[in-house]
Homo-oligomer: A and B are copies of this chain.
Amino acid sequence: MTSPDKSKELVTKVTLVNDRVQFEGHVDGQPSVAIDYAPPLGDEKGYTSLELLLLSLSSCLGTAVATFLRRMNREVAGLEIMARGERKSTHPTGFHTIHLDVRLTSSDASVAELEKTVASAEQSFCPVFAMVKNNVEIVTTVDVVK
Contact A80 B6 (CB under 8 A): no
Docked complex Cα distance between A76 and B67 (Å): 45
Q: Look across to chain B and name the residue whose beta carbon is closest to the beta carbon of A76.
A: B16
Which residues in B have their C-beta under 8 angstroms from that of A131?
Answer: 53, 94-95, 132, 135-136
Copies per complex of this chain: 2
Is B21 a contact of A67 with CB atoms below 8 Å?
yes
Given contacts A85-B9, A128-B50, A131-B132, contact A59 B35 (CB under 8 A): yes
Tell me whether A109 is interfacial, beta carbon within 8 Å.
no
What residues make up the interface of A, taking CB atoms closer than 8 Å to B? Answer: 1, 6-16, 19, 21, 23, 25, 27, 29-31, 33-35, 37-38, 41-42, 44, 46-60, 62-63, 66-67, 76, 78-88, 91-95, 124-136
